């Protein structure tokens, strides 16, 4: 019987499609055209986010008795249109004797409900940036969302603080880590960069340094859970690649980040939610025009699959599946599990329970 393990996409080059949307209840006020190329900082969606509702009785000011007496020709606004204070909403008649219902405040015309006009006041202008440099493949929901296709190196993480940024990657200093920058204002290479930490976040000093050097993002293997609220309060993305605790960074993740130091990357530190499929992730822009393969999703663990070991004692190691072992074997904790023989990157072959494996979205290599 096929075994489907957990999955985290970790790919050196791939094609991804990401949706960018206006906030819920926002009214579209323009979207980039389908097929357009976009940079990370380009605005792809504009909209209005109204607040309080205003309900106006239209019959009495217009001298009407029934809602059916209000014709389409009288209504001066369409749903979603912005009205300034004093703008006409409905006009009955012509010339000096015309009766006019005016907007009492800057608002958005929502709809007619019988003889009532429904407006939403104090509309807030909102803009959504592309965040992923690429091409718009479709405009959806009447201009409330766009689908962007792009390519690069993709790494999905474990937790984020809900922020996003597009910035250049920098590895933390080898000697002393990011904490060694405390008080040193002359290190220009880290200012406005996305700093990759090679060790867990264990003290608040890390956030002090980030503020001092105006970092655009912090990317770390893990963090103490008691600093979660502090991370959530930061104005920049905090992305944990492995999770909470004192977990070291997986070798495959570290190698990808190290090899792409200096490149721009999209850091989308989505805060995981139970009913949302979105994962915190990092996409490194590679600047290539060669078509990249899409991730291989929802494949079972099979011979030739590239996997990562998700639990101790080999947590973070990765390699190819040489053979599926369906007969349960004894492991270190005294229990027996079905598993697989994995050839690690260093050439060593180890047995790992299937429950400890994680697929990485890469194609299977058959021998």
pTM assigned to the model: 0.82
pLDDT over 90 at 210, yes or no: yes
pLDDT over 70 at 317, yes or no: yes
Give the dihedral sign, CA 125/131/133/139: negative
SS3 category, 90:
strand
**Domain ranges in the chain with CATH number 2.40.50:** 51-122
| 8 Å CB contact between 167 and 193 | yes
What's the angle, vertex CA 74, arms to CA 71 and CA 77, rounded to 5?
110
Q: What is the pLDDT of residue 52?
A: 80
| 8 Å CB contact between 44 and 38 | yes
C-alpha dist (Å) from residue 342 to 97, 323, 352, 356, 357: 87, 7, 7, 12, 10
**Domain ranges in the chain with CATH number 2.30.30.30:** 300-359
DSSP alpha helix (H) spans, 213-266? 228-232, 251-259
Q: What is the pLDDT of residue 51?
A: 77
pLDDT over 80 at 205, yes or no: yes
What number does CATH give the domain 51-122? 2.40.50
Per-residue confidence band for 367, with pLDDT thresholds at 50, 70 and 90: low
Q: What is the pLDDT of residue 361?
A: 92
**Looking at domain 158-278, which of 3.50.30, 3.50.4, 3.40.50, 3.40.109 is its CATH number?**
3.50.30
Q: Residues near 225 by Cβ (< 8 Å), separated by ≥ 6?
A: 244, 245
| 8 Å CB contact between 342 and 38 | no
More confident residue, 137 or 333: 137
Q: What is the pLDDT of residue 79?
A: 84
Q: How far apart are CA 365 and CA 367, in angstroms?
A: 6
The rounded mean pLDDT for the chain is 91
Per-residue confidence band for 318, with pLDDT thresholds at 50, 70 and 90: very high
Q: How far apart are CA 344 and CA 279, in angstroms?
A: 26
Place of tokens 């990011």: 178
Percent residues over pLDDT 70 in the chain = 98
Per-residue confidence band for 288, with pLDDT thresholds at 50, 70 and 90: low
**Looking at domain 300-359, which of 2.40.37.10, 2.30.30.30, 2.40.30.10, 3.30.360.10 is its CATH number?**
2.30.30.30
C-alpha dist (Å) from residue 134 to 19, 130, 266: 12, 8, 12
Per-residue confidence band for 231, with pLDDT thresholds at 50, 70 and 90: very high
Q: What is the pLDDT of residue 123?
A: 78
User: SS3 letters for 115-177?
Assistant: CEEEEEECCEEEEEECCCCEEEEEEECCCCEEEEEEEEEEEECCEECCCEEEEEEEECCCCCC
Per-residue confidence band for 184, with pLDDT thresholds at 50, 70 and 90: confident
Give the tokens for residue 47: 């909209």
């Amino acid at each position: 019987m096929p075994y489907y393990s957990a999955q985290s996409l970790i790919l050196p080059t791939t094609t991804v499609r990401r949706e960018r949307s206006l906030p819920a209840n926002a009214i579209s006020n323009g979207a980039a055209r389908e097929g357009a190329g976009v940079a990370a900082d380009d605005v792809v969606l504009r909209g209005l986010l109204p607040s309080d509702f205003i309900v106006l009785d239209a019959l009495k000011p217009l001298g009407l008795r029934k809602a059916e007496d209000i014709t389409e020709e009288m209504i001066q606004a369409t749903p979603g249109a912005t009205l300034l204070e004093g703008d006409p909403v409905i006009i009955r008649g012509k010339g000096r004797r015309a009766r006019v219902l005016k907007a009492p405040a800057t608002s958005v015309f929502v709809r007619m409900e019988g003889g009532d006009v429904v407006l939403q006041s104090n509309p807030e202008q909102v803009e959504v940036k592309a965040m992923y440099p690429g091409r718009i493949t479709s405009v959806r929901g009447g201009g409330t969302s766009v689908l962007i296709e792009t390519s690069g190196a993709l790494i999905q993480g474990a937790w984020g603080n809900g922020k996003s940024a597009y910035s250049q990657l920098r590895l933390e200093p080898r000697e002393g880590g990011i904490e060694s920058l405390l008080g040193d204002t002359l290190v220009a290479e880290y200012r406005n960069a996305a700093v990759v930490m090679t060790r867990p976040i264990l003290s608040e000093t890390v956030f002090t340094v980030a503020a001092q050097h105006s970092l655009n993002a912090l990317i770390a293997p893990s963090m103490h859970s008691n600093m979660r609220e502090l991370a959530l309060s930061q104005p920049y993305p905090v992305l944990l690649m492995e999770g909470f605790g004192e977990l070291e960074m997986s070798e495959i993740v570290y190698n990808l980040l190290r090899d792409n130091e200096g490149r721009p990357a999209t850091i989308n530190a989505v805060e995981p939610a139970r009913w949302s499929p979105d994962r915190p992730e990092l996409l490194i822009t590679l600047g290539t025009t060669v078509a990249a393969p899409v991730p291989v999703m929802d494949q079972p663990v099979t011979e030739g699959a590239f996997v990562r070991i998700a639990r101790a004692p080999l947590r973070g190691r990765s390699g190819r599946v040489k053979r599926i072992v369906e007969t349960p074997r004894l492991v270190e904790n005294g229990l027996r599990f079905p598993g697989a023989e994995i050839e690690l990157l260093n050439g060593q072959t180890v047995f790992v329970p299937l429950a400890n494996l994680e697929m990485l979205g890469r194609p299977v290599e058959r021998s």
